[in-house]
Amino acid sequence: TIGLVAVDKNGDVAAGTSTNGAKFKIPGRIGDSPIPGSGAYADNTVGGAAATGDGDVMLRFLPSFLAVEEMRRGASPNKAARTAIQRIVSHYPSFSGAVIALTKDGEYGAACHGIQTFPYVVQDNTRETSEVISINC
């Protein structure tokens, strides 16, 4: 899956995902990626978020929605993403996945669990080229 969150020069936030899902899934199965609030979520008044990982588990917790709501309550993107991941981990300790979060003002962060490192990519006006940021899970 790729998950993306963007804010344009007008301050409009959008988010999205595209995926071919899990290998050898039962035909007809979909994961979290196309579910609003799960795979991705966006709200101009706050920002946006996107998630990736074990979609059968993730879609039960709407992690992208939760991350955005945490940012609405004043959490930093890193903290918001961590809260969304922790909500899942508290029920499924062996779950694997990650959440990225971005505020409407361009502050970003991520959190992950169950994989060694999780890379995500950022591009903004402060960088000449895109930057890959890897976080330890």
Partner 1 sequence: DSNIPIVITTWNFENSTIKAWDILSEGGSSLDAIEKGATVCEVQQCDGTVGFGGSPDEDGETTLDALIMDGRTMNVGAVGALRRVKSAISVARHVLEHTKHSFLVGDQATQFALQMGFKEETLVTPDSKKLWMKWHNEDHCQPNFWMNVQPNPNEYCGPYRKLDTHGKHKNFYKKSEREQKRIVVDEFNHD
Binders of partner 1 among residues 76 to 135 (CB under 8 A) are 91-92, 94-98, 100, 102, 104-108, 114-115, 118-126, 129-130, 132
CB closer to partner 1, 61 vs 120: 120
Minimum Å distance from CB 86 to partner 1? 17
Query: Interface mask (CB under 8 A) for partner 1, residues 29-58, using x and -?
Result: xxxxxxxx--xxxxxx--xx-xxxxxxxxx
CB closer to partner 1, 35 vs 83: 35
Q: Per CB under 8 A, does 20 bind partner 1?
A: yes
CB closer to partner 1, 73 vs 121: 121
19 is known as an active-site residue: no
42, 101 Cβ separation under 8 angstroms: no
DSSP element (H, E) containing 10: none
64, 99 Cβ separation under 8 angstroms: yes
User: Looking at residue 79, what DSSP letter applies?
Assistant: H
Cα–Cα separations (whole angstroms), residue 27 to 17, 33, 34, 56: 20, 16, 16, 14
With CB under 8 A as the contact rule, the residue among 7, 62, 75, 88 that binds partner 1 is: 7
12, 29 Cβ separation under 8 angstroms: no
